[in-house]
Amino acid sequence: MNFLKRFSVLSVMMLVAVTMMAQELPKVYILATGGTIAGSGSSATKSNYSAGQVAIGTLLDAVPAINDVAYVEGEQVVNIGSQDMSDDVWLVLAKRVNELIASQKVNGIVITHGTDTMEETAFFLSLVTDSNIPIVLVGAMRPSTAISADGPVNLYNAVVTAASPASMGRGVLVCMNGKVYGAADVTKTNTTSVETFQSPNSGALGYIHNGEVFYYHAPDRVGRKFVDHVHEGTLFNEVRTPYFNIDGLKSLPKVGIAYGYSSVEGDVVDMMIDKHYKGIVYAGVGNGNIHKNVFPELEKARKDGIIVVRSSRVPTGATTLDAEVDDNKYEFVASWGLNPQKARILLMLALTKTDDWKTIQKYFNNY
């Protein structure tokens, strides 16, 4: 009898201790959106599979070690392949992220996402959230049914990253294949490899080892502080990371991308003029150069009030202001370090505030 009594007191104490430990763990909230990390295939060795099949609960069950790192809760926002990502889903997702931030109940947020457009969602969120808590995007290159699926370890590493105080104030992050990247610079560079994510201009911010995140450096483009820098004699002192309040927004202005190549013709742009796009990003050759067949159409677009941003199809380097193209003369905007898909996002958000090309150029000067 005595033994039984002591045993039940002991179990209650253990239960209290376990509950207290769980309460002391950082709280990480997972927003699931689909992608290959939630993909399932008919074979463990073949590459054909469908993205966005498995719910977040199942993904978490596959990685029990996560419960040692953080107290994790989550919800499914959508369950799609990220090739189908849209402005509408971005607005829903970002508003949910902002609600979680405002609740002050979470220490970090992890977003599971397909890899195809992960860099875009990360960059979008970096412009419309204003918080020091880590917001970490994660995905997988192999479906959950594959041999050596990379989803479980990536998810674990993402939770480690989101739970760590070392990740505070580093902006929106992408955590893939054991490394951490900043939203503005990261890009998908390989169609199938697990080491596909890279920040070609600035490198990874850090790495995860044995359940701990280590940082080499902070991303440059974080925080709302004024930072002066001089480029070719011009002093840039705008707000470093622009912030756009999306609370009242139901949709985003229409902005499209036209791709440059030899023999390209003006009709790649005409469609967007005819359909009243508000902005056009031209993924030019080299330093954002524009074919002579397209140049007059872009001039026409600008005269019609459309904002034209020059970016580049070249994967590294920046599209610099007034290089081979006299941007000031044509009222074109140079995208600097943003690739065309990220330039489109900044342009859409900038257009929610202004249609003045000079002001819009100032937003881009920060990249």
Q: Which residue's CB is nearer to ligand ASP, number 121 or number 320?
A: 121
52 to 111, contacts with ligand ASP by CB under 6 A?
81-83
Q: Which residue's CB is nearer to ligand ASP, number 115 or number 126?
A: 115
Binding mask 256-275 for ligand ASP (x = CB under 6 A): --------------------
d(CA 67, CA 89): 29
Shortest reach from residue 191's CB to ligand ASP, in Å: 9
36 is a contact residue toward ligand ASP (CB under 6 A): yes
289 to 348, contacts with ligand ASP by CB under 6 A?
none
Q: Which residue's CB is nearer to ligand ASP, number 8 or number 193?
A: 193
Dihedral angle at the C-alpha atoms of 227, 229, 217, 166, nearest 10 degrees?
0
Shortest reach from residue 24's CB to ligand ASP, in Å: 34
Q: Which residue's CB is nearer to ligand ASP, number 114 or number 134?
A: 114
Q: Are 272 and 258 in contact (CB under 8 A)?
A: yes
Residue choice 28, 30, 31, 51 for contact with ligand ASP (CB under 6 A): 51
Task: Tell me if residue 320 is catalytic.
Answer: no
> How many residues can be counted in the chain?
367
Residue choice 60, 66, 78, 116 for contact with ligand ASP (CB under 6 A): 116
Among residues 322, 323, 340, 330, the alpha carbon closest in space to that of 294 is found at 330
Residues 6+ apart with CB under 8 A from 6: none
| Catalytic pick among 19, 33, 36, 191 | 36
Which residues form the interface with ligand ASP (CB under 6 A)?
35-36, 51, 81-83, 114-116, 139, 141
Q: Which residues are catalytic, by number? A: 36
